[in-house]
Structure 1
Amino acid sequence: MASSADENQADNAVAEVPGDGLVAVVKRDCPTCELIGPVLADIESRGSLTVFTQDDPAFPEAVAARVHDADLGFSWHHDIETVPTLMRFADGAETGRIVGWSRPEWESFTGLGGLGDGLPEHRPGCGSLSVDPAHVDALEARFGGSGLSARRVEFGSQEDLHEAMFDRGWSDGLPLVPPTAERVAAMLAGTSRAADEVVANVAPDLADCTVEKAAVNAVMAGCRPEYFPVVLAALTAVCNDTFNMHGMLATTMPVGPVFIVNGPIARQIGMNNGMNVFGQGNRANSTIGRAVQLIVRNVGGGRPGEVDRAALGQPGKVGFCFAEIEAAADGSTDESGGTGWDPLCTDFGFEAGTNAVTAFPGEAPRSVVDQLSRDPESLARTLAASLNAIHHPKLVLGFDAILAVAPDHSRVFIDSGWTRQQTADRINELTTRPGSELVRGADGIAEGVPDFLAEADLPKFREGGLHLVHCGGGAGLFSAVIGGWVNGEVGAQPVCVEIDPWR
């Protein structure tokens, strides 16, 4: 985590409280606290009272036993939510409290009569500085139970934090958000998992990534805390032998993890599944995938030019994440496109409506244009012809694919009663071709399949290798193809993981 040399270094120790007696917590910026200043002075003159003042160390002037709660440690540790709060201590332990000002309650609590004669009988208090949103993250980071253990990296007061983080090799080439203790603590609030819990073993260095390390990188990526459950699930999805992140890094092909989010959580965190779905402008889409890639870089050691050997790469390797259009509980969608297709997560055994993220080993998307087809058979043939070109028109069975179908194209199928599976089945039929057209040397092209396959009918994709996803803007007769890496047991396979929104 980053911290600058000129950060507040005040002692974290909590001011001691008297073993026995009364303690009041106040702040000058509270009309009720100002009102009861004379009452506090009266109580002090008739017994034992210590006043902890949150903002102004000179307040209340009429009280001698004042303690400036400068770091708000006393207020935080004693769960002060409202000022004024009046507490009673015996043998160093709190035995009772009241909040706000009420003459009858204060007189009963203190055993003193005649308090605040001439003052209003009741006045509500104000919010404590220790629960003010401006302070709560810093207090949680300093005093809370988040268990932050990451090494603090000190920066000089004259250093530019953004340049310093880049110089230390933490960045993917874009500016990073400094992962201060306050920001990391706030990110950890997005999950109930312990900061020291290991989420995954990250390739290529096979380093353990704890929840805290994931939070540090999620902060640097620009995530909000509510995105963090998706980040943790996405990280789990890529860190296993099935997805084979190490192999994908080492390949010279231009592929990286593509994340597709299903379920209500996509709406809850404001993900984009519509217009410009693969593009810029949506914070959740832009930062979730980036967070995972930064973890692979900074925890796992997967850096370009080292283990990452991509000959060309592609922009999606910074982070590629989007949501799918699917029906809400009320049957509505975010885009005009119908609700006739099950979501992608059902390909992996999850029910529709499950919060899930699918990690797909993919390349950059390429557009498919068909402005004229109005029947499903014609459109299926267009899509099949485009899918045949993945990596090479004569290479088959080796590469999975995502076919992203935008609403104006999906409507052609849905209005004709074609389900997502029926559409995929027909496209698979149309992408099956005679081996004689695909063997090496056919059509004057050296690339192709071995000669012994010349008499076989060869499908473009292995069984279950074509995945249809419903996304994109509601105007425009387009789809998109996202080709995969070498799939199956010799390469990588898509992995779908359920997201626990509370984790």
Structure 2
Amino acid sequence: RDRPPRFINVAGSILPAFALEDMTGQQHAFPEAERTVVCFIKEDCPTCNLVMPLLEAANSSTKAITLTAGQTAEGNATLIERHGLTMPLLDDSTLKVSFAYDVETVPLVVLADADGKELDRLVGFDRKEWSGFFDKHLSDTQIDWDDYPEWRPGCGSLTQDPVIADRLRAEAENSPLRARKIEIAPSDDVHEFMFDQGFSDGLPVVPPTPERVIRMLEGTSRDSQELVATMPPNMAPATIEKIAVNAVLAGCRPEYLPVVIAAIEAICTDEFNCHGVFATTMGASPVMIINGPIRERIGLNVRMSALGQGSRANATIGRAVRLAVRNIGGAEPGGTERSTLGSPMKFTMCFGEWEERSSWDPLHVERGFDKNDSVVTVFAMSSGPTLIVDQNSRSAPQLAGSFGLSMESAHHVRAHNGGDGILVVCPEHVDTLERDGYTKADIRRRIQEVTTVPLKDLVADDVSGAGIDPARAASMTDDMLNRPLPKFASEDNIHIVVAGSDAGKFSAAFHGWASGPMGSIPVSRKIEV
């Protein structure tokens, strides 16, 4: 996936062409001769030092030209002085040629013809193989092979260093990166620069260096330039690469990237109405709930402090989505994001359901997925988590009634038929409910039951001007005014998950923004892992 073109290490492969300078500044190119021996070495490798006299002898042969590339300029100077070399050592301190040749072990010796086709190769040191190579291809050299050990292992190429390898991949000709690179002056503070450029949500961010973005892309098999979504409000293309950049900014690990991608796919649907969610003065924001095996794989917190700080996965996945909305979609406070007060959820709100803690169907199964699917579901919530404190109820009807009475305050006690709600049930409350055989459906029915009031109780009055306009109520019949109306338009608007510590009878609720086609509809997406 998105790897620079490498030759296959078999005889007959065409080797990459290159031109490198020696220590005097003279350029040497490959391929140019009838036959060329291309060598890769580094100064701190004992086996490379062992074979330096052999490479010097190869350089004196009339059978082929020898081009020896050292992986550091300082190392080349040391090798020349240490071994009294007369042959030129080429400077591959950028490691781009070593990378193009996919050098894993040094010393590496490759013989090629005038077309650059590989004829033979040596890796490390095996006296029998090296003597056979010289007898076959460099027969005019005089070497006493008894002076050499039978075998010595090679050393790891500098290109195998993870940090260096990521840089080389980022700089390669067909690097998966296409984003514009910004050069920052050495005297500038990179973190202050990113604040000044508006890349941050107000908290420090991780600089998205090419190396870090390359590592982040290892978290997915999808092409870096694949278009995931067109992101409002600017209707900008959100590619895998751009999402990876924001995942780096947020502090994600590569294994979180598939979750971030799926969440962005979900929020950019027409059903979720991303533009409306971020533009409303009501201050809505995505709440992400994750189900399935990926929870354990990425270390997502579903237990103590599941809705709070302390978990890298919970904190950074939600933050990456919000940063992407800001940096790709252009939703910034004071611009298209017009929230009156804002909310801590504008930074991040992502957690997992503790599926194993109850006998109930988890959220993603309720929404039509297989239990073994990894799924992210996004909700547009305007407030929460609001604590529901009930340490006294001993029966399921009592406890579910407490849930309903607490959730009745969403937006306003007189606001009925409004948004969706998320109920996060803590384990101790789960035990009380399950002891009486309550299911999620039973909880929903009980919430609707205890929040049902006649329409006349929702009319604005001297106590509060919120509610149904009195003039409108005056035009209603008694039957209309006595019509019972529950808090939520449907039981389907109440979403229930389990999370939290085993200790403490404290559940919580999130209050939704407007529901349905005129607002936002919850969206689930399967996570590609």
Task: Give TM-score scaled by structure 2 length.
Answer: 0.85
Give the match for residue 8 of structure 1: none
Residue 461 (structure 1) aligned with residue 488 (structure 2)? yes
Give the match for residue 160 of structure 1: 189
Output the CA distance in 2 between the equivalents of 1:483 and 1:168.
Answer: 33
The one-letter code of the counterpart of 2:178 is S
Give the match for residue 401 of structure 2: 381
1:349-360 alignment, distance < 5 Å:
349-360=368-379
Q: 13-22 or 470-479: which moved more?
A: 13-22
Give the match for residue 201 of structure 2: 172
The one-letter code of the counterpart of 1:372 is N
Give the match for residue 136 of structure 1: 165
1:341-352 alignment, distance < 5 Å:
341-352=360-371
How far the C-alpha of 1:289 sits from its partner, in A, is: 1.4
Give the match for residue 419 of structure 2: 399
Distance 1:81 1:244, change over 3 A: same
Distance 1:448 1:94, change over 3 A: same
Give the match for residue 312 of structure 1: 341
1:59-458 alignment, distance < 5 Å:
60-61=79-80, 62=83, 63=85, 64-90=87-113, 91-110=115-134, 111=136, 116-143=145-172, 145-327=174-356, 338-362=357-381, 363-441=383-461, 444-449=463-468, 451=473, 452=476, 453-458=480-485
1:20-60 Cα shifts (integer Å, max 9, x gaps) = 22222121222222232233233333453222211312354
1:388-413 Cα shifts (integer Å, max 9, x gaps) = 11111121111101001111111222
Give the match for residue 52 of structure 1: 69
The one-letter code of the counterpart of 1:498 is K
Larger radius of gyration: 2
Match of 1:32 among 47, 68, 79: 47
How far the C-alpha of 1:235 sits from its partner, in A, is: 0.8
Q: Residues 341 and 414 of structure 1 are in contact (CA less than 8 Å); yes or no, is this contact kept in structure 2?
A: no
- For the residue of structure 1 that corresponds to 2:176, the secondary structure is coil
Output the CA distance in 2 between the equivalents of 1:178 and 1:287.
Answer: 14
Output the CA distance in 2 between the equivalents of 1:414 and 1:33.
Answer: 70
Give the match for residue 497 of structure 1: 525
Q: Residues 229 and 499 of structure 1 are in contact (CA less than 8 Å); yes or no, is this contact kept in structure 2?
A: yes
Output the CA distance in 1 between the equivalents of 2:445 and 2:103.
Answer: 62
- For the residue of structure 1 that corresponds to 2:355, the secondary structure is coil
The one-letter code of the counterpart of 1:374 is R
Q: Residues 369 and 478 of structure 1 are in contact (CA less than 8 Å); yes or no, is this contact kept in structure 2?
A: yes
Q: Residues 206 and 250 of structure 2 are in contact (CA less than 8 Å); yes or no, is this contact kept in structure 1?
A: yes
Q: Residues 375 and 525 of structure 2 are in contact (CA less than 8 Å); yes or no, is this contact kept in structure 1?
A: yes
1:157-186 Cα shifts (integer Å, max 9, x gaps) = 211111122112222111122222222222
Q: 341-350 or 60-69: which moved more?
A: 60-69
The one-letter code of the counterpart of 1:155 is I
How far the C-alpha of 1:386 sits from its partner, in A, is: 0.7
Distance 1:14 1:359, change over 3 A: farther
Give the match for residue 10 of structure 2: none
How far the C-alpha of 1:86 sits from its partner, in A, is: 1.9
How far the C-alpha of 1:103 sits from its partner, in A, is: 1.2
Give the match for residue 484 of structure 1: 512
Q: Residues 163 and 211 of structure 2 are in contact (CA less than 8 Å); yes or no, is this contact kept in structure 1?
A: no
The answer for unaligned runs of 5 or more in structure 1 is: 1-11, 328-337
How far the C-alpha of 1:115 sits from its partner, in A, is: 6.3
How far the C-alpha of 1:144 sits from its partner, in A, is: 6.0
1:340-389 Cα shifts (integer Å, max 9, x gaps) = 12221123211222111111101231111111223212211111111111
How far the C-alpha of 1:436 sits from its partner, in A, is: 3.2
Distance 1:37 1:305, change over 3 A: same
- For the residue of structure 2 that corresponds to 1:359, the secondary structure is strand
Output the CA distance in 1 between the equivalents of 2:347 and 2:485.
Answer: 35
Q: Residues 146 and 188 of structure 1 are in contact (CA less than 8 Å); yes or no, is this contact kept in structure 2?
A: no
Distance 1:480 1:116, change over 3 A: farther
How far the C-alpha of 1:293 sits from its partner, in A, is: 1.3
How far the C-alpha of 1:13 sits from its partner, in A, is: 7.0
Q: Residues 13 and 73 of structure 1 are in contact (CA less than 8 Å); yes or no, is this contact kept in structure 2?
A: no
- For the residue of structure 2 that corresponds to 1:372, the secondary structure is coil
Output the CA distance in 2 between the equivalents of 1:308 and 1:214.
Answer: 20
Q: Residues 418 and 515 of structure 2 are in contact (CA less than 8 Å); yes or no, is this contact kept in structure 1?
A: yes
The answer for unaligned runs of 5 or more in structure 2 is: 1-16, 21-28
Output the CA distance in 1 between the equivalents of 2:59 and 2:444.
Answer: 80
1:260-303 Cα shifts (integer Å, max 9, x gaps) = 11122222112211111121222221111111111211221211
Output the CA distance in 1 between the equivalents of 2:484 and 2:220.
Answer: 50
- For the residue of structure 1 that corresponds to 2:238, the secondary structure is strand
Output the CA distance in 1 between the equivalents of 2:120 and 2:312.
Answer: 46
CA RMSD of aligned residues (A): 2.2
Q: 96-105 or 489-498: which moved more?
A: 96-105
Distance 1:115 1:125, change over 3 A: farther
